Amino acid sequence: MRTAGFLTLTLAALLALPGSPATAPVRAQSTGGADDLIAAELASAHVRARRDDDMVALAGSRPGSTFWRHIFTIPDGHIAFGSALDGRLLAVFPTKGDWTRDAEWADPTLAKVMAGRRLPRRLDDRRDLVAELLERVAGPVVHNPTRGLFVLPNARRYGRFLQEWGAIYERFGVPAEVGLAQAIVESGLNPTRRSSARAVGFCQWLLGNWRRLDRLTPDVLEAYNQTTQAAYCAAYLTILATKYGSFIPALSEHHSGGTNIGRTLINGERLGGEDVRERYFLGSQLARDLRQISLYGYRELYRTYGPRSYYYSEMVFANTATVEALTESTPQATIYAMRTPRAIRLSEITQRTKLSADEVKRYNPALRTRVPAAATLYLPMYVEQFGRDVSFWHRPPNPAFTRVLHEFLRLDSETDRWEDRAFEPVLRRFESRFRETNSEEGRIMATVLAYASEEAYLSRRGAILAEFRTSADIQRLFDRAVLARGASEPARASLGDPSLPDSDPDDTASR
């Protein structure tokens, strides 16, 4: 058996992972007066505190969550096993091959667990047995297929843009490393990735939802351009983080849907969770355990909240280190944005800029033959003939936008209140105030708030969650589930594969 050789297999040359993620502050410059500067600094401090509290909560409730950074830095074709107690990598096995001979052991002392063992031929059975053997000596484990090649080709092509995209996320109150880590988990930074559910691009929004956003804004949105997506994904994530007062359930809602997360939080509250993070962790653990006891027997309590939903926030926060290592190891480029007054053909762009067609498409993955009128053209330089400069992330934040954002970030985060239709006027007033800032970022925030309001208040989500909270039948099922969980004491750490990068059939994407 080999030991520690997996280090030569990883993407370490490209992603020299640091021990812990560094801070990526929200930009707080202002061209306004002292009050505007204070508002920007307070907004920045508020977001950093929210992220820091999330990291502390993850470390306490999911101490093995850092394991997930290995999944995206070891090439495909392997199964990685890690500790659910501290996230350290234990061993890497080839998907095909002799696991007793070809294992790569991070901790050589663990190799003895395989001595003299005959392993099942079926991969899933082999994984389960190895997990059981490792747990005897190393405690609870987690395991998953590696997905390094899901990221690497796109990192080579688009990694130079991470700093610019990070600045966009920061403008909307999302730490750069959190927003970009989500993009890595969702798409591997692939702008044209399309899931079986027709989710597309950077943060894998459903194509139908991009069309709804396009109808809500006067601009033309091209969903396969990551620089366009980054702003709208950031605005949506900051709305969800404000709703919950935490990025943890916010990220999970992006993946699993607001109704699933609402049920999860209600279950966590029933289990005694005192704040939103504790309720989320308790409710998600209950869903995970009940799926192991009886997949369909207790389904009304968790519906389509599945394994990937359980791990989703962990994956994102763990890969903040991947984002920062990739940014540090890749020379960064500047992106300029121009709002096109007319349709502009690719041939005209290459002629004026002297860039190759491939380089232009690197900045504009959605571009085939021309950029539509009223859309956004992205280039490494500003070309006046192609439209006005809308690269808002290059400029200090609009003072009016900063003031409204600061107020919005501090909205009451009682989730029940947000689900109540009586709260809609509050969001609509913020939508109007953001639009009235007459800024590019304000218009984006207003558009996404309009989208989020429609999503929340034109659907049955509020009614479904109100019934879930008050239903006597659901309460009786919950009580039986808690008794069943206590009686069975299911294994909590070897659930394994959350079906990366796509959702499993019982784990729906709704964004």
Q: Where are the domains of the chain?
A: 77-145, 336-390
Report the DSSP beta bridge partners of residue 206.
199
| Distant-in-sequence, close-in-space partners of 354: CB < 8 Å, separation ≥ 6 | none
Rounded mean pLDDT of 307-311? 93
| 442 in Cβ contact with 400 (< 8 Å) | yes
- 5 pLDDT above the threshold of 80: no
Say how many C-beta atoms besides its own lie within 10 A of residue 76's C-beta.
12
pLDDT for 408-440, tens place per residue? Answer: 999 976 767 898 899 999 999 999 999 999 999
DSSP collapsed to 3 states, 45-68? HHHHHHHHHHHHHHHHHCCCHHHH
| 496 in Cβ contact with 189 (< 8 Å) | no
Helix-strand-coil split of the chain, %, nearest 5: 60, 10, 35
pLDDT for 314-346, tens place per residue? Answer: 999 999 999 999 999 999 999 999 999 999 999
| 344 in Cβ contact with 377 (< 8 Å) | yes
Check residue 4 and give its pLDDT: 47
Check residue 419 and give its pLDDT: 87
Q: What percent of the chain has pLDDT over 90?
A: 77
pLDDT for 112-129, tens place per residue? Answer: 999 888 999 999 999 999
- Cα-Cα-Cα-Cα dihedral of 326, 235, 395, 190, to 10°? 30
pLDDT for 223-278, tens place per residue? Answer: 899 999 999 999 999 999 999 999 999 999 988 999 999 999 999 999 999 999 99
Check residue 496 and give its pLDDT: 61
- 195 pLDDT above the threshold of 70: yes
Rounded mean pLDDT of 172-200? 93
Start-to-end CA span in the chain (Å)? 44
| 308 in Cβ contact with 316 (< 8 Å) | no
Closest CA to 236 of 215, 209, 208: 209
Check residue 196 and give its pLDDT: 84
Q: Which two tokens stand for residue 128?
A: 């389960």
Give the pLDDT band (50/70/90) at residue 511.
Answer: low
Check residue 60 and give its pLDDT: 96
Alpha carbon 241 to its chain's center:
12
Backbone angles phi, psi at 104, to 5 degrees: -115, 115
27-41, 203-217, 348-362: least confidently modelled range: 27-41
Give the pLDDT band (50/70/90) at residue 48.
Answer: very high
pLDDT averaged over the chain?
89
3-state secondary structure of 41: helix
Rounded mean pLDDT of 78-103? 95
